[in-house]
Amino acid sequence: MKTLQNLIWLAIFALTSCVDSKESLPKTSFDSPFPKRNRDLTNILGDHLAIKQGTDTLSMTITAFKNYNLITNDQNGDTLFKGLVSMYRGLYYFSQQLNDTSFWIYAVKLKDNLVYGLNTAWEQTLFVDRAIENGKHQKLVKHITADKIRLHPEKKELKYLFASIVDSLVPDTIIQFQKTIPAFTDTTKVITQIDPDDFEFFSKVYPNPTTDFVNIELHQKSKIFYQLTDISGKTVLHGQFENLTNKINLSKLSIGIYYLALINPNNNQKETIKIIKIK
């Protein structure tokens, strides 16, 4: 399995002095983890998760702690990941500590029942090696030697770097969630308070709760479709935004909870937030 291979290679990476040829070893490490707070991974994927990787099935247990997340293999108890999980602009960033001063960072994308990059720390780091050696993303570079590339994580630049890497990976299929966690249909959690760094489209939504109108500010001006549904999933309003600041009239709707989804028709990317109507 890819996961077992990654763990074996990680051990090899820690013992590079024992390897005769370093041509196939990742050179890149970061001087700190991704600069966003740690997320509770169980709120995203549940306590237990099973994914299909090619012809193999991997069953995992996920445990969340205050400052890190732990993923273990149900079959043998091996640790698959231990570290920070951050979110920024539609991607999850996994920061795995190698030693006191070095980290690997790799990205994970969730779309429908697919997960991209969950067990590809080694593969993604080799992609980063090639990008940096080809002169790309120099804003990240602290120093480069013949066998080492040292980077400092800058959020926006990492988004550009990893967005293309993740899209080039073959996704794994999610075949089982923890039953108490609903299957998601987009790359974001449904939340009430917005951290604009978490979203590609949403910048601000206010007031929320609201009595009549809700304002939606976007990160950039673009044609985005919106859909407002009630808690039963029934669509109550829909349309298209074309401005940076947009307004939706909720005055005729009943008091309750609604879900506002923004959809990019070009790539079908979807982001969802919760809207509360009062009075």
* Terminal Cα distance for the chain, rounded: 55
pLDDT value at 22 more than 80: no
Q: Residue 43's pLDDT is what?
A: 79
pLDDT 10s digits, 238-260: 999 988 999 999 999 999 989 99
Q: Residue 180's pLDDT is what?
A: 41
pLDDT 10s digits, 48-99: 999 998 889 999 999 999 899 999 999 999 999 999 999 888 899 999 999 9
Q: Residue 219's pLDDT is what?
A: 83
The structural domains of the chain, with segments of one domain joined by +, span: 2-177, 196-277
- Residues 194-218 as b or e (16 or more Cβ within 10 Å = b): beeebbbbbeebeebebeeebebeb
pLDDT value at 217 more than 70: yes
Angle CA 21–23–27, to nearest 5: 115
Q: Residue 194's pLDDT is what?
A: 64
Burial class (CB in 10 A: 0-12, 13-18, 19+), 15: exposed
pTM here is 0.67
Q: Residue 151's pLDDT is what?
A: 98
pLDDT value at 172 more than 90: yes
pLDDT 10s digits, 92-145: 999 999 999 999 999 999 887 889 999 899 999 999 999 999 999 999 999 999
Q: Residue 157's pLDDT is what?
A: 95
Do the beta carbons of residue 123 and residue 71 sit within 8 Å?
A: no
pLDDT value at 231 more than 80: yes
- Give the bridge partners for 216, in sequence order: 205, 246
Residues 271, 260: Cα–Cα separation, whole Å: 8
Tokens of 90: 């539609």
Count of residues in the chain = 279
Q: Residue 11's pLDDT is what?
A: 47
Distances (CA, A) of 242 to 50, 92, 104, 233, 254: 40, 28, 39, 25, 27
Candidates 55, 53, 78; CA nearest to 2 is: 53
- CATH T-level topology, domain 196-277: Immunoglobulin-like (2.60.40)
Candidates 173, 171, 219, 224; CA nearest to 194 is: 219
Angle between helices 121-133 and 155-167 (to 10 degrees): 110
Candidates 227, 251, 219, 226; CA nearest to 241 is: 226
pLDDT value at 18 more than 80: no
Tokens of 113: 């029942």
Query: Mean pLDDT of all residues in the chain?
Result: 84
pLDDT value at 197 more than 80: no
